[in-house]
Structure 1
Amino acid sequence: MSETADVADLPRPTREHLAELPPTATVVYLHLRNEGNPRTLRQIAYETVRPQRSIRRALRQLHEEGMVSCSPRHTDPPQSEWQVNE
């Protein structure tokens, strides 16, 4: 894991974009950015101590805004991994 970023460390357009989204979306975005590696929904929920339902909603909102992307992970059962779009 690299340096931990806070909202204040983000570029202004990104901060303004996150301000329009629910707080959980900001937490998820910062977590993904700070991790630096793709994470599954279950990993994000566990590491942020938030319900999977809230994380799923936040990821969907961030994905619709083009701030995160999803790639399939070929495991059994199949899971998706999420990462921040740079």
Structure 2
Amino acid sequence: MTDAALGDLDRHTREQLADLPPTASLVYLELYNAGGPRTLRQLTHRTARPERSVLRALRQLYDEDLVSCSPRHTEPPQSEWRVNG
């Protein structure tokens, strides 16, 4: 299976992403193609973006109801992010 690109997403999702900064689209595609939840650290590593930028993108995606977050009970505790739907 090959990774999806923005053009492979449904029209509504593309329209939502079009209103967001490029980092948000990059983070969304990384989550979409991941096949499972990812932590902030994993997303920062995979996108090669600063943690602060990835966190801002995640918040924007969350506000648009494109991603969700769930706690991961590890030591130290971390959150895992995934695409909605």
Gapped regions of structure 1 (runs ≥ 5): none
How many residues are paired up? 85
* TM-score, length of structure 2 as denominator length: 0.97
TM-superposition CA deviations, 1:30-60 (whole Å, max 9, x none): 0000001100000000011110000000000
Moved over 4 A (4+): none
Equivalence for 2:82: 83
- Name the aligned partner's letter for residue 41 of structure 1: L
Gapped regions of structure 2 (runs ≥ 5): none
Fraction of identical pairs, as percent: 64
Equivalence for 2:16: 17
**What is the rounded CA distance, in whole Å, between the counterparts of 2:19 and 2:63 in structure 1?**
13
Tell me if 1:65 matches 2:85: no
1:3 to partner: Cα distance = 3.1
Q: Secondary structure at the match of 1:46?
A: helix
